[in-house]
Amino acid sequence: MKTSNFPTHPYPDDVTTIHLKDKTILLIGTAHISQQSTDLVKQVIVQEQPDAVCIELDEKRHAALAKRDTWENLDVKQVVRNKQLATLMVNLILAAYQKKLGGQLGIMPGTELLAASQTAEQLGIPIVLCDRDVRITLRRAWRATSFCKKGYLLATLLTSLFDKTVLDEEQLTAMRRKDVLSELINEMGAALPHTKEVLIDERDIYMAEKIKQTAGRRLVAVVGAGHTEGIRRAIGQDNRDRMEAINAIPPTGRTAKILGWLIPGLILLGLLLIGIRQGTAEFTANAVYWILAHGIPSSLGAVIALAHPATIVSAFAAAPITSLSPLIGAGYVCAFIQVMICPPVVREFEIAAQDIATVSGWWRNKLLRIFLVFILTTLGSSIGTWIGGYRIVDTLLN
């Protein structure tokens, strides 16, 4: 494999030519919020007239960029059923981060990827979406992040949202030449190496293999600048045997499964022992305490989220029961009920990435309020497990 920054036409250093057996690949490293990148992508595709154009998108992200009615077709009830609320929320946070920077730079994120798609279509050139499904990427990243560092990851993402720093002209100029999302992830690499491996390194391998599999002798590949070096390394390697593994969601670990059932089992065993050793009255008192310890904070979380009254009632009823099963949590039950009673309208989907960057937006936007219901009722139920569990253990020991 040979690489060069001197393709057929005199392009900037953002374009790298890779000669690989019978293929010539023009790899364009872009910033997702750069007008310069958008212009460069159009220029290269028009001048080179390649056999195919590979783009750093999957079907979901491509549809979100290309079709205005994408939100209309999103079934939030199905998202809740499939336990993908957290994935959707992280997607929105990342989109909002890029959109905020894009607003300062005068261009919306992903414009250069959409331009690549549209330019290729106008010229009758086949398009290949070479990125891994974003849902798989996010779920693998979440599984790869330890419990303690999940909080750090969420805090970093949320902090980036509410940062009100206004960039000066020098910083804006530098931003136009960077893939800012990849920069953010690389900055977290030292603290979250496994997360960075999933979000960047695995995708470099995946995209490199997809580009190599694309039919044609002369290709143009449009990817974020943060991926160019990794793709250049991976494209000369044979990683076909890794594709199945990195494109699958790893199963829940055996330890997590055991703990998921062990804690409810110990709670029920503790209540049973209290009944046997100390009588029905003490058993009833602890059972009622368990119900209240979960029901009150969980329903209070729903109240804070300004949930529908039916959702608040369901939080009180569901939390004590779902806390004894690892299969479903109170947050998902309450979120589903909130969706059924107060479904978000299309406009709220369209402005969610904007509203998510403001505190009031989380309560004003019905979609974001569903996230609040999910987060706060889950937190309330978790508090109940600690309080109720402490009461049961204390009763057993005294």
Q: Which residues contact 146 (CB under 8 A, 6 or more apart)?
A: 194
- pLDDT tens per residue across span 112-151: 888 999 999 999 999 999 999 888 887 888 777 776 776 6
- pLDDT tens per residue across span 10-69: 787 789 999 988 899 999 988 766 678 888 999 999 999 999 999 998 888 887 777 655
- Residue 310, both tokens: 């039916």
Q: Is 25 helix (H, G, I), strand (E, B) or coil?
A: strand
Q: How many CB atoms lie within 10 A of CB 379?
A: 17
Q: Which residues contact 326 (CB under 8 A, 6 or more apart)?
A: 257, 260, 261, 264
Q: Is 30 helix (H, G, I), strand (E, B) or coil?
A: strand
- Contact criterion met (CB below 8 Å) for 332 and 79: no
Q: Which residues contact 340 (CB under 8 A, 6 or more apart)?
A: 77
Q: Which residues contact 111 (CB under 8 A, 6 or more apart)?
A: 32, 33, 35, 38
- Residue 5, both tokens: 């920054």
CA gap 98, 108 in Å, rounded: 8
CA gap 131, 137 in Å, rounded: 10
Residue at 9: amino acid letter: H
CA gap 7, 25 in Å, rounded: 9
Low-confidence ranges of the chain (pLDDT < 70): 1-9, 32-34, 67-75, 83-84, 86-87, 90-109, 147, 150-154, 156-192, 252-253, 256, 346, 350
Q: How many CB atoms lie within 10 A of CB 326?
A: 17
The pLDDT of residue 98 is 56
- Residue 131, both tokens: 């990125």
The pLDDT of residue 197 is 85
The pLDDT of residue 75 is 63
CA gap 250, 247 in Å, rounded: 9
Q: Which residues contact 131 (CB under 8 A, 6 or more apart)?
A: 55, 56, 57, 58, 61, 203, 206, 207, 210
Residue at 231: amino acid letter: I
b/e per residue 102-114 (b: at least 16 CB within 10 A): beebebebbbbbb
- H-helix or E-strand containing 129? strand 127-129
Question: Where are the domains positioned within the chain?
Answer: 2-246, 254-397
Q: Is 282 helix (H, G, I), strand (E, B) or coil?
A: helix
**Which residues, in sequence order, are bridge partners of residue 3?**
18
